[in-house]
Amino acid sequence: MKILLAAAAGLAISAGAAFADTTIKMVEVITSPPRTEFLKKQIAEFETANPGVKVELISLPWGQAYEKFLTMVQAGDTPDVVEMPERWMGLYGNNGMLEDLGPYMEKWPDNKTLGERARQFGSTVGGKQFMIPYGYYLKAMFWNKKLFKEAGLDHAPTTLDEFVEDSKKISALPGKYGYCLRGGPGATFGVNMFMNIANGKGGYFNPDGTSLMSDPGSVKGLQMLADMYKNGYAPKDSVSWGFNETVTGFYTGTCAMLDQDPDALIGVAEKMNKDDFAVAPVPAGPGGKSFPTLGYSGWAMFANSKVKDQSWKLMETLLSPKGNIDWAKMVGVLPIHNGAEQDAYFKTEQFKGWFEELNGGDKYEFVTPPTHLENLGNFVDQIAIKGFQEVLLGKRPAKEVADEWAAYMTKEQQDWMAKNKK
């Protein structure tokens, strides 16, 4: 026993001596060259402030990030700090692989300004703070002030009825359309958002696992989009539009409204005069509530890290008010700290809609995708897109397609519930 204690003491002394020669392994998964370069700049500043601590950054291409990171973990090659999309938290958090950041946050000076949404969204798995979001991808409504004025309108729509009526008036202008509809890749979550709003309920499922997509209100929301397309309130080729086409349609003045995340603002702001457009909250439904789609990512720590204190210090730096605002401006997300909207960059009419949603209390209920479902990708990228396009083109009734979606999603959810029954 004495020998073991002496050995342990020796190891502790060695660890203390090596504190200044520490390597933190960090993985980023939502990558692009400018983004990675900016992250490297933030890391370099951290290393300068913490002599002897080095960060080994591994950048995984987003298209293969899920599989590549899972392979790393299965091989035991886990990082200390990882960029964690919200839809991965269940997989790694439920398996005990992530560190509970709650105790670290209690001693964190910047915890006092951290927004409640960050605490809420980072602790959706087992009520533990397995991740701290670094920002939010939240739907809001871009609107072209010049086109609105030409159509005799002076404010963004606040209800679905206004949204349709405004689209009708703007579409009466020669060569103009009211709405930049997205009928192609990536359309599913936006369609579900309008179905939720029209239905007055947020999310995808009832408590028993049955889908909300076949509710009469949901069908009404789907039919609303189909009618807008049929009536010429959206461009005919928008039946196949994805992200780039909708954003281009907006900044070229082809269509006057676009529901999108803050990352779209980067492209729009480069092409349009800041006085010619603004961003408002997503319109509300019959019950006065709105259900914007929200996604988020953040930083998490693996529970088996051998350098937890240093890893947390890196996370503190990246998630500090200054570090987070700089990051949010670069990557096109909404920052996480209270008061960030007072920063000159965000204190503009262009960001007003997103902050109104974030700070709007019960009026706005954010909906995140049911990413725990194994076959969600097939539904989002194949089944829903095909069905939506068939409805837009008048090939199938909205109710028939909505019922088909509901049957698929109900089976997926109830199968998942049965497998995870406690």
CA of residue 83 relative to chain centroid, distance: 13
Same domain, 344 and 233: no
Give the pair of three-digit tokens for residue 199.
């239905």
Same domain, 281 and 390: yes
- Domain membership flag for residue 367: no
Beta strands 22-28 and 255-260: pairing type? Answer: unpaired
pLDDT, mean of each 10-residue run, the chain (422 residues) = 39 42 94 91 97 96 85 96 88 89 97 92 88 93 98 97 98 98 92 97 96 98 98 98 92 97 88 94 94 92 97 98 94 90 83 86 88 76 94 98 98 90 70
Same domain, 303 and 409: no
- Domain membership flag for residue 2: no
**CA atoms of 345 and 347, how far apart (whole Å):** 6
pTM confidence score = 0.74
- Domain membership flag for residue 118: yes
Same domain, 250 and 148: yes
Same domain, 322 and 194: no
Q: Tally the domains of the chain.
A: 2
Beta strands 294-301 and 81-85: pairing type? Answer: antiparallel
Q: Which domain holds residue 204?
A: 140-291+373-419
Q: Are 138 and 259 in contact (CB under 8 A)?
A: no
Same domain, 159 and 279: yes
Same domain, 133 and 145: no
Same domain, 61 and 72: yes
**CA atoms of 142 and 280, how far apart (whole Å):** 6
- Domain membership flag for residue 5: no
Residue type, 24: I
Residue type, 11: L
- Domain membership flag for residue 37: yes
Same domain, 214 and 170: yes
Order of strands, sheet of 132-138, starting from the edge strand that comes earlier in the sequence: 53-59, 22-28, 81-85, 294-301, 132-138
Residue-level pLDDT at 5: 38
Q: What is the CATH number of the domain that holds 383?
A: 3.40.190.10
- Which of 316, 333, 357 represents a domain boundary (last residue)? 357
Same domain, 116 and 201: no
Same domain, 23 and 144: no
- Domain membership flag for residue 200: yes
Residue-level pLDDT at 422: 60
Q: Is 336 helix (H, G, I), strand (E, B) or coil?
A: coil
Dihedral sign computed on CA atoms, order 60, 66, 71, 74:
positive
Residue type, 152: G
- Domain membership flag for residue 316: yes
Residue-level pLDDT at 371: 66
Same domain, 146 and 247: yes
- Domain membership flag for residue 399: yes
For residue 74, with 0-12 CB atoms within 10 Å meaning exposed, 13-18 middle and 19 or more buried, which class applies?
exposed
